[in-house]
Chains A and B, each alone.
Chain A
Amino acid sequence: MTQFSLARLVLPMLVLPVLLMAAPAFADTTIPVRIKDHKFTPAEIVVPANTPVVLNVTNGDNLAEEFDSNELKVEKVIAGGQMGVVRLRPLKPGRYHFMGEYHAKTAQGVVVAR
């Protein structure tokens, strides 16, 4: 019978993110975005194409919001009154839709990469 060690399997998986964290952060373009009354300002965010961009999303509402976009591959919960850092991968030129999943009726926006 082959004995199978749980620790041997799991430990590398836990260590991996920690190792990756040691990677130096590079200077990115940072754009502030604000949520108020379940709407994004600006609702159309223009970013440079093919460059990583950071959105500093401040939630000015009391309710939590989830910044959600399949096209941008981002899912991020931002609690009421808090700021969340949303990192965008380098984008090809184009329009990328995003929304606040908890208030999708009003919280809609688009990232335009140029």
Chain B
Amino acid sequence: MLGTLLIVFREVIEAGLIVGIVLAATRGVTGRGLWVGVGVAGGLIGACILAVFAGGLSALFQGSGQELFNATILLLAVGMLTWHNVWMASHGKEMSRDLKAVGAEVTQGSKSLLAMAVVVGVAVLREGSEVVLFLYGIAAGGGASAAGMLAGGALGVLAGAVLSLLMYLGLLAIPAHRLFAATTGLITLLAAGLAAQAIAFLQQAGLITVLTTPLWDTSGILAEGSTVGRLLKTLVGYADQPDGAQLIAWLAVVAMMLTLMRVVNPRKSLIANAEAAVAPVPAE
């Protein structure tokens, strides 16, 4: 039962971290609860569907269907996160300049919320499908231990949700005028990390065959499989043995994000923009 609890807990916390960052990043935007809710619900439904068709999906593309699916949805999330950051950078200035425009801008903000709903959906879908497959196998197997293991799974979901909530509240403790800068940074690193993970899946599918040699090995300092390592992997794409292709993808996404934000809003530093953007919006 404890083993089941831990496995489910770790999967839930990985999705929960991303949901927490999205919630913090969209603080004060009207209707965000609905969109994030839609993302979570969509992700859960998708996870169940994915679990049912896991065997079929796996068999596609010479047995690499699962990897290609993972890489595709991860890259989709990278695109959505980029778009969100760029949208915020391009509109923050107008929001601060003209208070009257805020109402209209927030309406437009629903576009960015759609992107964030997709990100939440992808996170829940990916981790959720593993949880569903794992728990379904236990339930289907039956036997005396199944009930206890399923109870462990339920506790794992609960514990993961509670810790995710605590982390979200921790982010909210950041003063409002600093929060936006913080979430912009977090989303940039999150997107870069997801891109590096997508590269790993493309390599696993045999599609990227260059620059696959690990550059360094920090597993002695912080193993990727440890709990802290896994959390850092989710947050910033930590890998204890990254290879050249992953590093390039990580750097490329950070560079792309910063460049695009600079292009849409060249006047001030990003942090100054971020603070200006948040200033006129009343706290919840």
- Same complex: yes
* A29 within 8 Å of B (CB atoms): no
Distance of B26 from chain A, by nearest CB (Å): 16
Docked-complex contact A64 and B137, CB < 8 angstroms = yes
Instruction: Mark A residues whose CB is within 8 Å of B.
Output: 1-2, 4, 6, 9-10, 13-14, 16-17, 20-21, 23, 25, 28, 52, 56, 62-64, 66, 68, 70-71, 73-87, 89-90, 92, 101-102, 105
Those of B201-255 within 8 Å (CB) of chain A: 202-209, 212-213, 219, 223-225, 239-241, 243
Chain B interface: which size bin?
35 or more
In the bound complex, how far is the Cα of B58 from the Cα of A24, in angstroms?
19
Q: Which of A1, A52, A64, A105 contacts B206 (CB 8 A)?
A: A52
Q: Do residues A71 and B241 form an inter-chain contact, with CB atoms below 8 A?
A: yes
Q: In chain A, what residue has the closest Cβ to B112?
A: A6
Contact B61 A77 (CB under 8 A): no
Dominant SS among interface residues on chain B? helix
Residue in chain A with minimal CB distance to B50 = A77
1/0 per position for B35-59, CB-CB distance to A under 8 A?
Answer: 0000000000000000000110010
CA distance A54 to B94 in the complex (A): 54
Choose from A1, A20, A77 the contact partner of B133 (Cβ within 8 Å).
A77
Q: Enumerate chain B residues within 8 angstroms of A13, measured Cβ to Cβ.
A: 75-76, 78-79
A6, B83: Cα distance in complex, Å = 7
5 tightest Cβ-Cβ pairs between the two chains A and B: A85-B63, A63-B137, A10-B79, A13-B75, A20-B207
- Cβ–Cβ < 8 Å partners of A66 in chain B: 130
The segment out of B66-74, B158-166, B272-280 that lies at the interface is B66-74
Question: B206 contacts A4, CB within 8 Å?
Answer: no
Given contacts A13-B75, A70-B225, contact A52 B209 (CB under 8 A): yes
Of B206, B225, B241, chain A has the most CB atoms within 10 Å of the CB of B206
Q: Is B138 part of the contact surface with A, judged by Cβ < 8 Å? A: yes
Q: Say whether, besides A6-B83, A77-B66, A85-B63, A63 and B141 are in contact (CB < 8 Å).
A: yes
Can you pick out 11 interface pairs between chain A and chain B where the beta carbons lie within 8 Å of each other?
Answer: A4-B260, A17-B71, A23-B207, A52-B206, A56-B63, A62-B141, A64-B136, A73-B241, A76-B67, A77-B130, A79-B58
- The interface residues of chain B lying within 8 Å CB-to-CB of A56 are 63
Please name all residues of chain B whose beta carbon is closer than 8 Å to the beta carbon of A14 when the two chains form the complex.
72, 75-76
| In the bound complex, CA of A21 to CA of B68 (Å) | 9
Determine the distance from Cα of A83 to Cα of B66 in the docked complex, in whole angstroms: 12
Q: How far is the CA of A21 from the CA of B62 in the complex (A)?
A: 10
Measured CA separation A21–B65 after assembly (Å): 10
Is A76 within 8 A of B66, CB to CB?
A: yes
A13-B263 Cα distance, complex, nearest whole Å: 21
User: From A105, which residue of chain B is reached at the shortest CB distance?
Assistant: B3
Nearest chain A residue, comparing its CB with the CB of B138: A63
Q: How far, in angstroms, from A9 to B115 measured CA to CA in the complex? A: 12
Cβ-based interface call for B13 (8 A): no
